[in-house]
A and B are shown apart, each in its own frame.
Chain A
């Protein structure tokens, strides 16, 4: 039988579908009887989806310009 500590350690594997079917079944059984773990797993789920929906972390204009300058400087060596 899984306990709450196991659930806390494996919650990402559960929501990402990375558990074996047997472990997943054990997980389901624990969630069925444990409201605190249901809340925990739901929060991990919301956290993951929220972070995914935020989109990419964009570079600053200065960072982009630095790269573009290097590329311009590199060109003469190519010809």
Chain B
């Protein structure tokens, strides 16, 4: 990627250079919102993220680079969301993943009751490499839509891990959840997106 975070000059960021900061916001606003939504819910997330950006900008001269700039920012928004949560005395419940019936691949109907073998096996794919999938414009739109409607914690975990490549331990800190829970959420998110690819391969539609 030519316009990745790495290409943004960290010295210019420390000097609070507007253009460099704008590039940072453009790349990381959506992940930042996903973190806030996972912690505090939809209604306050936007406000929390705006406060986090302002506080990040103020503190940029003190960014020492001990963690990556991404992890630093995700920690800022996470702390902002957690402290707001305490102030509002609100509780955001963990997603009840047992009630989330939308992962067809994990439903009991997919498997034989005894023995656990596939009853409805995964379909064949004619596009069977990442490169081939990357060329499908319409598929990208289907994926973007599905990512946007994932439950908040699944969405945050998916974006932090598979898009932003944060370590599992970092994600646990940022979202204050256990590693096994992160892994379950990640798997569910991937399988939902895989179902989009299944459908696309079969019908050419979302």
Contacts and interface: CB of A to CB of B under 8 A. Distances in A.
Interface string B119-130: 001101100111
B52 to A, nearest CB: 10
Given A11-B187, A74-B57, A52 B29 contact: no
B31 A58 contact: no
Contacts of A56: 1, 4, 27-28, 30-31, 163-164
A49 B132 CA distance: 12
B205 interface: no
A75 to B, nearest CB: 9
A21 B118 CA distance: 25
Interface string B148-169: 0000000000110011110010
B145 to A, nearest CB: 12
A50 interface: yes
A6 B116 contact: yes
A29 interface: no
Interface of chain A, helix or strand or loop or mixed? helix
Contact of B163 (A3, A36, A57, A78): A57
Contacts of B134: 50, 53-54
A76 interface: no
Contact of A46 (B27, B110, B129, B162): B129
Nearest to A12: B187
B120 to A, nearest CB: 10
A51 B187 contact: no
B190 interface: yes
Which of A8, A44, A50, A53 has the most CB atoms of chain B within a 10 A radius of its CB? A50
